[in-house]
């Protein structure tokens, strides 16, 4: 009996071992396993930190959000006030001086625990961070923009793994080094709060978003945290480390590609590599297969791919945004396998720079077509980027596209956007000028360790983003070359220490002229590189109107009149702009009504230009063009009118100057918080007047009627790829609606052109009419319908006898899920702004000029009934905003 029982138990044990073997075999042969580590995090202020005595409550462990930022975690627990409401900035600077700890615990199943390889992957640690796993330090990170992969096989256990991260203050870490320098290199914005000395700025020594240290459109919040994804990747046998479809030749008849698969293998052996793809219509191609030999470690496998008659990717307005999905699969011995996929568009990118008698051109060509770039500069969407949703990114890019933009410049003082941003740009046909993240001051490129860190960062980011057809340029930095050459720091440093000045410049040339250029050439060879903006790519003058790209700030920063925009005709205008406040609904969320005033302290706290004195600059431009605002509400309104009309003047001049000028990117699209800035869309996503104007002045067909020195020139602009039969009309009328005379002409607009039509002296247009009461209305018409209008006045608005009451009649009706607002003006209504007091509503158009007797119908979407909308409607026009 006992013998039989023992035999039975031995049989059961053998079955169990066999079952375990069967179960373990597919586990070893399975593909890589990914485990996100975003749950169960807590944080605290390090108890021994110098800030702990004053902020003891923050030293207790509390729940944290990952990905996230310490400011947001502190806010969630009520330990700090909302950083955007009121004026708490000064009292929150201690956060950037403190050491912060984050930790989580996690268990592992048998499948993950028994893999041969396990890697902790951090997509973003901000910034100086020591990572500890189960009591052992496994990483000392020093770059917020790098992806850190840490092998941890053999360091894990089934239960109670502890991951702890200690974030060190970047200011405290770098300040001793900066203070020890016998001569300082230029920083950017000195802190007004005493958290670091004004003569020892640390931001440019740290690979961290520069805008966290403050900018002239945002606050200073030097944050920390696990700001992007963290995960555990475990695998056996094979791992695809990277998959890239290199575009070697893209033409209408054929696309010649190379599928490059970077593989990490445990052992030598044979494997099968398969590449297939799905075209934009959803049809899957027959896979290409090849038997390959693997060796232990990293290697790159390349398989040529040829697509006949490819559907190519084009910018918006020039063709379709065709996207292919490619897939790579590698099958090795013993059932080991790995796969990867990517979505991309097939296109050829050129930065054309032809020489001419005036200098050298600057134009982007996509698939051989030179594209006039229309758009704006993009800054970060929040001071704390982890809380920016994919929906926010999509809405902002769709708004850019709605304004007829085809290019955005991702500015170099922020961070590299996540893939969701570029996925939408790919879909919408928005070209992206992508800066590397160097935005102000001078970098310590003379330090080999700094350069090595920078090169590793660049490689990470270029490899991550190179699949996106929207990226058409990698640019080394923002304004560092022109700062060195034109802003005086070079001369001061050369006087103090000529040898060190040469060393600083040589380091700059090495980093931005060679190192980053080499990374782009090797990793994204089909995309051009440009060393700085503005620049001529290190050749001579940095901010030259005849060569390279241009930043023009003589209007606004230099206080020149808005009309000076007409005197500046660059090859490519990559920055220019005027400031404005957002609408009152946005201000009300950040500044109590009682604190809203031109000189009110809380209002000044949300005005970062010239340390809060930017309202004086705004008043300078408002007074010059429009007169004295009656109150703060009118000041806000007039700031938007001034911004919109001024940027429109410049952008139309740029477009009318084609082909000499081939780009107009205004500063800026968006905001990091609610405050005064150069944006056309505020932090809440509300359009300022500028964005409504941009939709008109960036339209594919536009009438650019520009008045300068008593003469008005009309140029008709076409971004169409085919000829357009059109008609132009001219009406000269007074503000009451009486027409003095009219004219018209027919013509065919050439593809991709700016066609001069004519020029009129004031006397020819007025013919004796009162210039203070008269306007010239130019229209471009296609098929009998107006597609663009430009109203020209014969003096600044403050000198015009604009109607104080244009006699606007408002009528409402319901149409499906929206309302329709009909507005009819008896007399000229210039710069009409439609608002709804206390009701969130968006009219289909705004910032309009209604001619005498004109009616416009606008769809309005709102979460309110008709009676509430009717009662909330507020109309504001130009003459009513000044006494």
pLDDT band at residue 872 under the 50/70/90 scheme: very high
Does the structure show a pLDDT above 50 at 15?
Answer: no
> Cα-flanking dihedrals φ and ψ of residue 673, to 5°?
-165, 175
pLDDT band at residue 817 under the 50/70/90 scheme: confident
**Strand ranges for 710-807 from DSSP E:** 711-718, 724-734, 739-749, 753-761, 774-782, 785-793
Mean local confidence (pLDDT), 827-840 = 95
Tokens of 475: 């640019």
**Which residue, 106, 67, 333, 28, is CA-closest to 223?**
67
Element (H, E) at 446: none
- The percent of residues in the chain predicted with pLDDT above 70, rounded, is 96
Question: How far apart, in Å, are the Cα atoms of 161 and each of 122, 232, 642?
Answer: 17, 12, 59
Mean local confidence (pLDDT), 112-128 = 95
Mean local confidence (pLDDT), 847-869 = 95
Span 33-231: which CATH code?
2.60.120.260
pLDDT digits 0-9 by tens, 623-667: 999 999 999 999 999 999 999 999 999 999 999 999 999 999 999
Which pLDDT belongs to residue 22? 31
Does the structure show a pLDDT above 60 at 13?
Answer: no
Question: Helix or strand or coil: residue 380?
Answer: coil
- The percent of residues in the chain predicted with pLDDT above 90, rounded, is 93
Mean local confidence (pLDDT), 696-701 = 98
**Which pairing describes strands 573-575 and 550-551: parallel, antiparallel, or unpaired?**
parallel
pTM for the complete prediction?
0.94
Which pLDDT belongs to residue 502? 97
Residue identified by tokens 């350069």 is 451
Residue 586 near residue 684 (C-beta atoms within 8 A): yes
Structure-derived torsion over alpha carbons of residues 428, 429, 433, 439, reported in degrees to the nearest 10: -10
DSSP string, 545-570: SSSS-EE--TBTTT-B-GGGGGG---
User: What does pLDDT average to over the chain?
Assistant: 94
Does the structure show a pLDDT above 60 at 883?
Answer: no
Mean local confidence (pLDDT), 102-113 = 94
Helix axes 689-697, 632-656, angle to 10 degrees: 20
pLDDT band at residue 880 under the 50/70/90 scheme: low
| Whole-number Å distance between alpha carbons of 738 and 724 | 32
Does the structure show a pLDDT above 60 at 768?
Answer: yes
Mean local confidence (pLDDT), 463-492 = 96
Taking only Cα atoms into account, the Rg of the chain, rounded to an integer number of angstroms, comes to 30
Domain 702-799 superfamily per CATH: Immunoglobulins (2.60.40.10)
pLDDT digits 0-9 by tens, 232-267: 999 999 999 999 999 999 999 999 999 999 999 999
Question: Helix or strand or coil: residue 128?
Answer: strand
| Whole-number Å distance between alpha carbons of 577 and 538 | 25
Residue 665 near residue 574 (C-beta atoms within 8 A): yes
Which pLDDT belongs to residue 881? 54
pLDDT band at residue 6 under the 50/70/90 scheme: very low
Question: Helix or strand or coil: residue 251?
Answer: coil
Mean local confidence (pLDDT), 342-368 = 97
| Whole-number Å distance between alpha carbons of 221 and 219 | 6
Per-residue three-class SS string for 99-118: CEEEEEEECCCHHHHCCCEE
Looking at the DSSP assignment, which residues form a beta bridge with residue 220?
A: 213
Does the structure show a pLDDT above 90 at 613?
Answer: no
Query: Hey, which CATH number is domain 237-335, 2.60.40.10, 1.10.3720.10, 3.50.50.60, 3.30.70.890?
Result: 2.60.40.10
Cis peptide before 791 (omega within 30 of 0): no
pLDDT digits 0-9 by tens, 664-680: 999 999 999 999 999 99
**Which residue, 471, 323, 316, is CA-closest to 406?**
316
Does the structure show a pLDDT above 90 at 194?
Answer: yes
Residue 319 near residue 312 (C-beta atoms within 8 A): yes
| Whole-number Å distance between alpha carbons of 583 and 597 | 14
Mean local confidence (pLDDT), 559-565 = 98
Under DSSP, the state recorded for 135 is: T
**Which residue, 667, 441, 678, is CA-closest to 549?**
667
Does the structure show a pLDDT above 50 at 482?
Answer: yes
- Given this structure, which CATH class describes domain 349-698? alpha beta
- C-alpha triplet 83, 582, 188: angle, nearest 5°: 55
- C-alpha triplet 848, 850, 853: angle, nearest 5°: 160
Residue range(s) occupied by CATH 2.60.120.260 in the chain: 33-231
Domain 808-881 superfamily per CATH: Immunoglobulins (2.60.40.10)
Of residues 104 and 816, more confidence is placed in 104
Residue range(s) occupied by CATH 2.60.40.10 in the chain: 237-335, 702-799, 808-881
Question: How far apart, in Å, are the Cα atoms of 667 and each of 410, 517, 656?
Answer: 11, 26, 20
Does the structure show a pLDDT above 70 at 2?
Answer: no
Residue identified by tokens 């923009």 is 145
pLDDT digits 0-9 by tens, 484-539: 999 989 999 999 999 999 999 999 999 999 999 999 999 998 999 999 999 999 99
């Amino acid at each position: 009996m006992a013998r039989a029982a023992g035999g039975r138990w031995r049989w059961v044990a053998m079955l169990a071992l066999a079952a375990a073997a069967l179960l373990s075999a597919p586990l070893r042969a399975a593909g890589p396993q990914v485990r996100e580590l975003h749950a169960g995090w807590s944080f605290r202020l390090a108890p021994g930190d110098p800030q702990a005595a004053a902020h003891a409550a923050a030293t207790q462990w509390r729940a944290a959000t990952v990905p996230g930022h310490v400011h947001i975690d502190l806010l969630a627990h009520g330990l700090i006030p909302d950083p955007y409401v009121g004026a708490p900035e000064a009292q929150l600077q201690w956060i950037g001086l403190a050491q912060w700890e984050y930790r989580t615990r996690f268990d592992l199943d048998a499948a993950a625990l028994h893999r041969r390889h396990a890697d902790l992957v951090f997509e973003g640690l901000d910034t100086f961070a020591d990572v500890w796993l189960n009591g052992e330090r496994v990483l000392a990170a020093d770059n917020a923009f790098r992806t850190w992969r840490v092998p941890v096989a053999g360091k894990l256990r089934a239960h109670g793994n502890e991951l702890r991260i200690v974030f060190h203050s970047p200011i405290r870490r770098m300040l001793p080094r900066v203070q020890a320098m016998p001569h300082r290199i230029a920083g950017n914005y000195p802190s007004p709060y005493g958290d670091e000395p004004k003569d020892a700025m640390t931001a440019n020594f740290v690979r961290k978003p520069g805008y966290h240290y403050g900018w002239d459109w945002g606050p200073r919040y030097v944050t920390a945290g696990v700001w992007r994804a963290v995960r555990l990747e475990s695998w056996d046998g094979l791992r695809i480390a990277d998959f890239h479809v290199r575009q070697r030749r893209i033409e209408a008849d054929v696309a010649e590609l190379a599928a490059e698969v970077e593989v990490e293998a445990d052992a030598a052996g044979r494997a099968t590599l398969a590449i297939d793809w799905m075209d934009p219509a959803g049809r899957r191609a027959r896979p290409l297969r090849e038997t390959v030999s693997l060796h232990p470690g990293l290697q790159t496998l390349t398989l040529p791919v040829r697509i006949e008659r490819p559907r190519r990717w084009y910018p918006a307005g020039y063709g379709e945004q065709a996207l292919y999905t490619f897939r790579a699969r590698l099958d090795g011995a013993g059932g080991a396998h790995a796969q990867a996929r990517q979505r991309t568009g097939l296109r050829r990118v050129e930065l054309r720079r032809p020489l001419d008698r005036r200098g050298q051109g600057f134009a982007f060509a996509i698939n051989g077509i030179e594209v006039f770039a229309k758009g704006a500069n993009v800054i970060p969407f929040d001071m704390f980027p982890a809380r920016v949703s994919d929906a926010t990114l999509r809405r902002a890019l769709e708004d850019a596209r709605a304004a007829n933009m085809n290019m955005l410049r991702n500015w170099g003082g922020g961070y590299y956007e996540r893939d969701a941003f570029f996925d939408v740009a790919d879909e919408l046909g928005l070209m992206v000028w992508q800066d590397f993240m160097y935005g102000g001051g001078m970098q310590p490129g003379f330090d080999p360790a700094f350069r090595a860190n920078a090169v590793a960062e660049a490689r990470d980011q270029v490899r991550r983003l190179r699949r996106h057809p929207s990226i058409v340029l990698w640019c080394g930095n923002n304004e560092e070359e022109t700062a060195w050459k034109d802003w005086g720091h070079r001369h001061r440093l050369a006087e103090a220490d000529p040898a060190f000045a040469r060393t600083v410049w040589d380091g700059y040339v090495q980093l931005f002229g060679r190192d980053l250029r080499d990374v782009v050439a090797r990793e994204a060879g089909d995309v051009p590189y440009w060393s700085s903006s503005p620049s001529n790519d290190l050749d001579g003058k940095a901010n030259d109107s005849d060569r390279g790209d241009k930043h023009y700030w003589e209007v606004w920063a230099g206080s020149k009149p808005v009309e000076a925009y007409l005197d500046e005709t660059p090859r490519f205008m990559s920055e220019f702009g005027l400031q404005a406040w957002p609408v009152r609904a946005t201000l009300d969320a950040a500044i109590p009504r009682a604190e809203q005033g031109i000189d009110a302290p809380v209002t000044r706290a949300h005005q970062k230009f010239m340390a809060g004195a930017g309202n004086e600059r705004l008043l300078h431009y408002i007074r010059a063009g429009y007169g004295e605002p009656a109150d703060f509400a009118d000041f806000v309104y007039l700031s938007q009118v001034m911004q919109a009309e001024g940027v429109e003047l410049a952008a139309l001049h740029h477009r009318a100057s084609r082909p000499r000028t081939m780009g107009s990117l205004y500063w800026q699209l968006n905001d990091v918080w609610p405050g005064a800035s150069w944006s056309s869309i505020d932090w809440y996503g509300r359009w300022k007047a500028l964005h409504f104007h941009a939709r008109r002045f960036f339209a594919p067909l536009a009438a650019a009627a520009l008045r300068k020195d008593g003469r008005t020139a009309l140029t008709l602009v076409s971004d169409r790829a085919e000829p357009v039969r059109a008609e132009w009309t001219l009406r000269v009328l007074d503000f009451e609606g009486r027409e003095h005379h009219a004219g018209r002409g027919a013509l065919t607009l050439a593809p991709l052109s700016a066609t001069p039509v004519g020029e009129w002296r004031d006397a020819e247009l007025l013919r004796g009419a009162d210039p203070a009461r008269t306007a010239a209305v130019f229209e471009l018409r296609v098929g009998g319908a107006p597609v663009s209008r430009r109203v020209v006045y014969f003096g600044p608005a403050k000198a015009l006898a604009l109607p104080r009451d244009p006699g606007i009649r408002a009528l409402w009706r319901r149409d499906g899920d929206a309302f329709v607002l009909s507005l009819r003006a008896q007399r000229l209504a210039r710069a009409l702004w439609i608002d709804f007091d206390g009701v969130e509503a968006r009219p289909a158009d705004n910032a309009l000029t209604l001619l005498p007797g004109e009616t416009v119908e606008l769809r309005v979407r709102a979460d309110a009934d008709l009676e509430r909308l009717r009662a909330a409607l507020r109309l504001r026009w130009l003459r009513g905003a000044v006494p």
